[in-house]
Copies of this chain bind each other. A is one copy, B any other.
């Protein structure tokens, strides 16, 4: 029942992204992303979550399938890659062998096959930013428009006009204004917003690849 033939296996791999000043991904010291071997009776997404849980202790994050790569050198093999997004506050990861890296450094930090995963994930992130509410996955439940704009600027790699950005966001109607503000420094406090709770959360196959 338990087939352990190493030449035939389905792997899952996860690129977990967060934003702390810059966009960063979670990287194991061996130059790999968190991975798992798919077990009997286990779903692919469950396997990916398990991989992430083993490496980091967290499992409750946004997770979406990215692409499936063939690793077939010795036998029929496939690696189903996922990407995950989480706000950095939720990530008290301080385990040995686990760290963060800049996607631009992926080439030096990761083995080839995993480098491609990170690169593709960045591309999809930037593309999807424009039409899907994924930016919110990097933020806490309540956030300021300034924080949201920073996410868009970091992922989209370009500065945005504050007024035009706010107009665009308000028009998308994803947000609701709360009655609270956040005092964050020696300046005017910022109003807090949250995602409209009727927001259907999407974690499906891309419609627009």
Taking the complex as formed, is A51 at the interface, i.e. its CB lies under 8 A from any CB of chain B? no
CA distance A41 to B78 in the complex (A): 11
A36 to chain B, nearest CB (A): 11
Whether B76 pairs with A78 at a CB distance below 8 angstroms is no
Please report the C-alpha to C-alpha distance between residue A65 and residue B139 in the assembled complex, in whole angstroms. Answer: 31
Contact mask A41-85 → B, CB, 8 Å, 1/0? 111110000000000000000001111111011111110100000
Pick from B10, B64, B73, B209: contact of A124, CB below 8 A: B209
Instruction: Assess whether B8 is in contact with A8, with CB atoms less than 8 Å apart.
Output: yes
A208 CB contact (under 8 Å) in B3, B120, B128 = B128
Asked if A127 lies at the interface with its beta carbon under 8 angstroms from chain B, I say yes
Please report the C-alpha to C-alpha distance between residue A73 and residue B42 in the assembled complex, in whole angstroms: 8
Minimum Cβ distance to chain B for residue A72 (Å)? 6
Asked whether, in the complex, the Cβ of B127 is within 8 Å of the Cβ of A208, the reply is: yes
What are 20 A-B pairs with beta-carbon distances under 8 A? A1-B75, A8-B10, A10-B76, A38-B70, A38-B76, A39-B76, A41-B75, A41-B76, A43-B70, A44-B69, A44-B70, A68-B68, A120-B205, A124-B207, A126-B207, A127-B206, A127-B208, A128-B208, A206-B206, A209-B209
